[in-house]
Amino acid sequence: MTPQPVEAPGIRLRAFHLDDVADITAGCADPLVQRFLDGLPDPYTEAEARRWVTESAPAAFASGGAAYAVTDPATDRLLGTVGLSHPVPQRGQAEIGYWVAPWARGRGVATTATRALAEHAFATGTARLELLTHVENAASQRVALAAGFRSEGVRRGATPVRDGRRRDLTLWVRLADDPPGPVERPLPDLPDGRLTDGVVLLRRLGPLDADQMYRLHTDPAVVRTRVPPTPAGCDEIDRRCRGAESQWLVGGAAAMAVLDVASGDFAGNCMLLYDQPASGQAMVGYSLLPRWRGHGYATRAVRLLARWGFDQVGLARLWAGTLPENVASQRVLEKAGFRREGLLRGRLPGTAGGRVDSTVFGLLPTDLAD
């Protein structure tokens, strides 16, 4: 039985047919689709596309799932696919997934298709939909948020990769009785993608910052302030940079590169860790490469970060901790308006199983000078 089309603004979900084979082949051979859909054959051939149209897509419906072609209602050309897999009828649960062809990206196709199929699934008895994205696939995570899905954490090693390794997946969930519309993000994007005072510029940390971040976090002065005080590994830094946008999107942390405006050079990094959202409190941290220390760059970065946190995130309080002997970092915080609030004894792990104290500073919106 051929499934009935599902209409949505600007798109139509319909059954696949053989006229889609060329577009399916081109879409599934696209490097971005291949990168994030580990189960696709590589290379992807027309024979695979025909098998999908004649066997796999009908089988999805027969097993209680769905496999729709996402098309342009005016031309009927394929724009992508959206479907339901891994149905668990006794739980009223299924997994939703999608891909968009290169010629259709940037038009909201994935978001509209995901919303449409989710509403159709809920109207026909599904109670819970799961959506899994690769940690570094920020575009897909933005689709999840726009389609009303909420982050529920990371499934470690959840999917095999072609080279034999396993990859983490971020889990997003929407329930049938969740409110419609996009999910409000705890950490909004930076206005125009950056914060600047004309001397320093903050932008989101990304994969291309990995080499500079490795230099920064293996610098002896920075290592001494790490918890515990050991150098960061190259793989750790690479994962941090590749996952930075995901952490931002799920509301965990806003990690930023600090740049010198005049030269465009990487000067360091700073971060807002949203550690206590229930009470509107977050932590700030920062590090600079040796060349940029002693010129007020850290203070400028912290001020920009704090103003964004209060004005755009809506925080009620910021805090920071330093080692008692880290006088330079304490001066940065004081110049940025933070007040020393006390000493937490043995708060942090040190070397050889020991513990070290932490000096705590706090900042309220009324403390931040214009």
Predicted pLDDT at 293: 95
Tell me what the pLDDT averaged over the chain comes to.
94
What is the arithmetic mean of pLDDT over 213-234? 89
The encoded tokens of residue 346 equal 């043995």
- Share of residues in the chain with pLDDT > 70 (%): 99
pLDDT at 349 > cutoff 90:
no
What is the arithmetic mean of pLDDT over 321-348? 94
Q: How far apart are CA 96 and CA 28, in angstroms?
A: 18
Domains recognised in the chain with CATH numbers: 6-175 (3.40.630.30), 191-367 (3.40.630.30)
Predicted pLDDT at 1: 64
Predicted pLDDT at 369: 64
Q: Which backbone phi and psi does 218 adopt, to 5 degrees?
A: -115, 0
Q: Is 265 helix (H, G, I), strand (E, B) or coil?
A: coil
What is the arithmetic mean of pLDDT over 9-36? 96
Predicted pLDDT at 227: 79
What is the arithmetic mean of pLDDT over 85-93? 95
What is the arithmetic mean of pLDDT over 147-156? 95
21 secondary structure, DSSP code: H
Question: Of 87, 88, 23, nearest to 52 (Cα)?
Answer: 23
Question: Of 256, 314, 242, 263, nearest to 286 (Cα)?
Answer: 256
Predicted pLDDT at 181: 92
Predicted pLDDT at 123: 95
What is the arithmetic mean of pLDDT over 156-183? 91
Pairing relationship of beta strands 266-276 and 281-288 according to DSSP bridges: antiparallel
Say which residue, 365 or 227, is predicted with more confidence.
365
What's the pLDDT band for 46 if we cut at 50, 70, 90? very high
Q: Tens of pLDDT along 231-281?
A: 889 999 999 999 999 999 999 999 999 999 999 999 999 999 999 999 999
> Of 88-97, 161-170, 199-208, where does mean pLDDT reach its minimum?
161-170
In order, the DSSP letters of 118-156 are: HHHHHHTT--EEEEEEETT-HHHHHHHHHTT-EEEEEEE
With a threshold of 0.75, does the pTM exceed it?
yes
pLDDT at 163 > cutoff 80:
no
pLDDT at 370 > cutoff 60:
no
Place of tokens 């049938």: 176
Return all residues near 80 (Cβ < 8 A) that are at least 6 apart.
27, 70, 98, 99, 100, 101, 104, 109, 110, 113
Do 267 and 304 form a contact (C-beta atoms < 8 A)? no
Predicted pLDDT at 156: 92
Do 113 and 70 form a contact (C-beta atoms < 8 A)? yes
